Amino acid sequence: MKYIDEFNDPDLARRLLDEIRATATRPWALMEVCGGQTHSIIRHGIDQLLPEQVELIHGPGCPVCVTPLEIIDKALEIASRPGVIFCSFGDMLRVPGTDRDLFRVKGEGGDVRVVYSPLDALELARSNPDREVVFFAIGFETTAPANAMAVHQARRLGLANFSLLVSHVRVPPAIEAIMSAPACRVQGFLAAGHVCSVMGTAEYPELAERFGVPLVVTGFEPLDILEGIRRAVRQLESGEHRVENAYARAVREDGNPAAVRMIEEVFEVTDRSWRGIGRIPSSGWRLTDAFRAFDAEHRFDVTRIRTEEPAECRSGDVLQGLIKPTECSAFGTTCTPRTPLGATMVSSEGACAAYYLYRRMNAPTPQATRAAREEMNPVA
């Protein structure tokens, strides 16, 4: 298939793997930031094919995983109200709140709908003037422009029955927080290609310099990921730490200026809680005062909902790359996609779910994984 098969070519993949193997003379730990990349890595078995010296740590880049429980509870409350059409991307429906999920709200009579774009939700608001239409605006920089555009259009069209429940997060502050954590083992990053296609790469050189890590902007097909790994390892081996663009077919240095302008018009930077990790300063977006009327939290008066997350699972450790999913004692036993303890097991992009689905066959015990890692990387 044109444009996709080319990035799945097994011969080219073998060549890249050979080159990575030849380049890596010592253990390196790389983090892929984006959940879409985690999914692709596991789905294609890339982590099994890499030489032992190259370890991939799965980052906090699944927007479904990091959406705080409190926001999910607010979503459930709003979606339960009569007269509301609650619109969401599909994979948020299964994320458990404190005691239920959006599927259950739908089962109990709530009008919950899966949409593919916030503009679909906008159209629903236009065609249902007597209903309140709420769109669950989650995601990284990738989904923010379209969500901003939806609000911008709602205001232009005078649609007073449209609002957003916003839980947007930003990648660079997360990288900063991960690198600042005392136990951090990450030595290089595969930066999320789709995020950079919107934002460009201007925010990254300072991070590469300050933390001494290579940041390679990477795509999502198997060859994209291998190429990102190859370049990151090459930089590490030669003692470099630059921002490199290995996804030039989609990412320009200045990103998509029109999309960035749209984000800046509608959203402003705010502190944001990340599920399992905690509050990261300046790591999110909220609607500006000019668009506050479209903020579902205020419109439906759910700002009073405050949810404490009960301590049960280690998704926080997983999201920061401190442990692999298989090192959690609940993995595959009390915590499965059917009975998720945490969102990393709920979302199809979550690292735990990816491991469970594709790796259950030969998941090593936590002890074995840890021993193998210590043997490989005594400084860990």
Partner 1 sequence: MPELADTVDPADWTCPAPLRDQPVVVMGHGGGGALSAELMEQVFAPAYGNAVLAALADSAVLELGGARLAFSTDSYVVRPLFFPGGSLGDLAVNGTVNDLAMSGARPAYLSAAFVLEEGVELTVVERIARSMGAAAEAAGVTIATGDTKVVESGHGDGAYVTTAGVGLVPDRVDIRPQRARPGDAVIVSGPIGLHGVAIMSVREGLEFGVEVASDTAPLADLVAAMLTVAPDIHVLRDPTRGGLAASLNEIARASGTGVRLRERAIPVPDAVANACGFLGLDPLYVANEGRLVAFVPPSTAEEVLAAMRAHPQGAGATLIGECVADHPGMVVISTGLGGTRVVDLPLGEQLPRIC
Residues 241-300 contacting partner 1, CB under 8 A? 275-281
**Pick 133 or 299: Cβ nearer partner 1:** 133
The reply on whether position 230 binds partner 1 by CB under 8 A is no
Kindly tell me which residue out of 58, 231, 359, 373 binds partner 1, with binding defined by CB under 8 A: 359
**Which secondary-structure segment (H or E) carries 272?**
strand 267-274
The reply on whether position 327 binds partner 1 by CB under 8 A is no
**Which secondary-structure segment (H or E) carries 122?**
helix 118-127
Kindly tell me which residue out of 20, 31, 55, 89 binds partner 1, with binding defined by CB under 8 A: 89
Straight-line distance from the first to the last Cα atom of the chain, in angstroms, rounded to the nearest whole number: 42
CB of 110 to partner 1, least distance (A): 11
The residue behind tokens 């502190």 is 271
Cα–Cα distances in Å, from 316 out to 54, 269, 298? Answer: 23, 23, 29
Task: Tell me 178's DSSP state.
Answer: H
CB of 275 to partner 1, least distance (A): 7
Question: Taking contact as CB under 8 A, which single stretch among the options 19-27, 75-83, 239-247, 358-366 is the one that binds partner 1?
Answer: 358-366
The reply on whether position 101 binds partner 1 by CB under 8 A is yes
The reply on whether position 222 binds partner 1 by CB under 8 A is yes
The reply on whether position 200 binds partner 1 by CB under 8 A is no
| Residue 309 CB coordination number (10 Å) | 16
**Pick 171 or 299: Cβ nearer partner 1:** 171
Question: Taking contact as CB under 8 A, which single stretch among the options 24-32, 176-184, 239-247, 285-293 is the one that binds partner 1?
Answer: 176-184
CA 11: distance to chain centroid? Answer: 30
Query: In the window 39-58, what residues touch partner 1 (CB under 8 A)?
Result: 39, 42-49
CB of 11 to partner 1, least distance (A): 10
**Pick 92 or 133: Cβ nearer partner 1:** 92
| Residue 339 CB coordination number (10 Å) | 11
Which phi-psi region, left, alpha or beta, contains residue 288 (left: φ > 0; alpha: ψ -120 to 50)? beta
Kindly tell me which residue out of 309, 364, 369, 370 binds partner 1, with binding defined by CB under 8 A: 309
Token pair belonging to 119: 């503009």
Give the list of residues 6+ apart from residue 355 with CB closer than 8 angstroms, or none. Answer: 42, 324, 325, 326, 331, 363
Question: Taking contact as CB under 8 A, which single stretch among the options 25-33, 150-158, 333-341, 365-373 is the one that binds partner 1?
Answer: 333-341
Alpha carbon distance 99, 348 (integer Å): 20
The reply on whether position 329 binds partner 1 by CB under 8 A is no
CB of 60 to partner 1, least distance (A): 11
The reply on whether position 180 binds partner 1 by CB under 8 A is yes
The site string for partner 1 over 117-156 (x = CB under 8 A, - otherwise) reads: ---------------------xxx-xx-------------
Give the list of residues 6+ apart from residue 162 with CB closer than 8 angstroms, or none. Answer: 121, 122, 125, 133, 134, 135, 150, 151, 154, 294
CB of 69 to partner 1, least distance (A): 5
Query: In the window 66-85, what residues touch partner 1 (CB under 8 A)?
Result: 69, 72
Kindly tell me which residue out of 79, 93, 236, 262 binds partner 1, with binding defined by CB under 8 A: 93
Token pair belonging to 220: 């999502």
The reply on whether position 91 binds partner 1 by CB under 8 A is yes
CB of 279 to partner 1, least distance (A): 5
Query: In the window 338-357, what residues touch partner 1 (CB under 8 A)?
Result: 338-343, 348-349, 356-357
- Strand positions, DSSP E, 67-214: 84-88, 111-114, 132-139, 162-169, 188-192
**Which secondary-structure segment (H or E) carries 227?**
helix 222-237
Give the list of residues 6+ apart from residue 43 with CB closer than 8 angstroms, or none. Answer: 354, 358
Question: Taking contact as CB under 8 A, which single stretch among the options 147-155, 240-248, 289-297, 309-317 is the one that binds partner 1?
Answer: 309-317
Cα atoms in the Cβ-side hemisphere of radius 13 Å centred on 52: 7
Question: Taking contact as CB under 8 A, which single stretch among the options 24-32, 34-42, 231-239, 293-301 is the one that binds partner 1?
Answer: 34-42
